[in-house]
Amino acid sequence: MFRIRKQLHTPNMIWNPAVGKPLCKFDDTGTIETDDIELADRLKEMGHEVSGEAVPDSQASHSQAGASVEDLRDYAAERGIDLGGATTAKGMLKKIIEAEKVG
């Protein structure tokens, strides 16, 4: 689970003009919690404080969370998942989770 704390003087709601709806809404303490890796990455790029890491929620997550690099590479190959340039287990797991969310 990611915990994201907003920057000072940032509104509680951040608008996403590309889709015409809110990107996220912070609670009264100025934080949100999410498992959405893309949201956490985007908010981090915007300068917000991000801590924690994703709790895997895909079908691969529970069985693959402690898997080795070789196991993850095999898992991805069997399912036709492109790991891009990922070379660590964490990076590979992230790619697998993203691919399975889309699929």
Residue ranges per structural domain of the chain: 2-52, 61-102
pLDDT tens string, the chain, 103 residues long: the values are: 889 999 888 889 988 888 888 888 999 899 998 888 888 888 999 999 999 876 555 444 434 556 788 888 888 898 898 999 888 888 888 888 888 776 5
2-5 vs 31-34, strand pairing mode: antiparallel
pLDDT at 59: 45
Phi, psi torsion values for 87, nearest 5 degrees: -125, -10
pLDDT at 4: 92
Q: What is the pTM of this model?
A: 0.51
Please state, in angstroms and rounded to a whole number, the distance separating the CA atoms of residues 45 and 30: 17
DSSP-assigned beta bridge partners for residue 31: 5
Q: How many CB atoms lie within 10 A of CB 101?
A: 12
